[in-house]
Amino acid sequence: MTKTNDQRQIQSDFDLQQKALGRRKFLRNTGAALTAGALVSMIACDKDDDNDGVNFGSGDFAILNYAYALEQLEAAFYIQVITTPYTGISSAESSLLTDIRDHEIAHREFFKAALGTNAIQALEVDFSSVNFNSRDSVLMTAKAFEDLGVSAYNGAGRYIASVDYLLLAGKIVSVEARHAAYIRDLLSNGSFADSTVIDANGLEMSRKPRAVLDIAKTYIKTKLNASSLPA
């Protein structure tokens, strides 16, 4: 399949940032699932209101912008983790956390390209509560972000009308779940799937968009308007 100009630009940006193995394969796989029909332009909405904050828009674009906001947050966090490694970080941990960083950047850039002019602005983050010199502080925050991300995608899936977008969300949430399992095992081996994230039926727990943003807003300085998202 011939790549779009957006996909080629994304690939070029990633090659300059990192040579991590597997990144380009990820982009090819996710990019192939996004058909031209899923990118048909919809009526643009005002995403930044001076009084109410950044608005996510409506319909599928609202859900995609919601996911884009979360991926911005995760990408910014892991970029900081790798830029200022915590004390005593091992080469294995550094390598795998770098892979996670690259995945999150890929997710962020993919949503940005897919949304085009409907994308919300770049968000300003606040990690003042995180001690990036401390392994425990970094990994506990990573655990919170990854668990939240998985629950966010699981909770948002029901609101996605486009089959193409739903397929992409399913591919991304499975990657996020792999991240969550790895981070959890770094903190406590064997805790990758405990009762705090999986219910008695063996099903991953989910959260609705506004509930997720209520948790995430601790780390986001930019004011968000979630009125168009499901309560």
pLDDT for residue 46 is more than 50: no
pTM equals: 0.76
Task: Output the DSSP codes for 104-139.
Answer: HHHHHHHHHHHHGGGPPPPPPB--TT--TT-HHHHH
In this prediction, residue 49 carries a pLDDT of 44
Rounded to 5°, the CA angle 216-73-88 comes to 105
Mean pLDDT of 89-113: 97
In this prediction, residue 39 carries a pLDDT of 39
Find the radius of gyration of the CA atoms of the chain: 17
pLDDT for residue 156 is more than 70: yes
In this prediction, residue 199 carries a pLDDT of 77
Q: Does domain 5-228 have CATH number 1.10.10.10?
A: no
Mean pLDDT of 158-167: 94
Strongest mean pLDDT among 31-45, 49-63, 145-159 = 145-159
SS3 of residue 36 by DSSP: helix
C-alpha dihedral (209, 45, 225, 167), degrees to nearest 10: 20
In this prediction, residue 7 carries a pLDDT of 46
In this prediction, residue 191 carries a pLDDT of 67
- What confidence category does residue 14 fall into, taking pLDDT thresholds of 50, 70 and 90? very low
Least confident segment among 50-54, 160-164, 169-173, 214-218: 50-54
In this prediction, residue 230 carries a pLDDT of 86
Domain boundaries, the chain: 5-228
Name residue, tokens 């168009």.
228
What is the rounded distance in angstroms from the CA atom of residue 131 to the CA atom of residue 139? 10
Q: Report the mean per-residue pLDDT for the chain.
A: 82
In this prediction, residue 131 carries a pLDDT of 98
pLDDT in tens, 57-89: 999 999 999 999 999 999 999 999 999 999 999
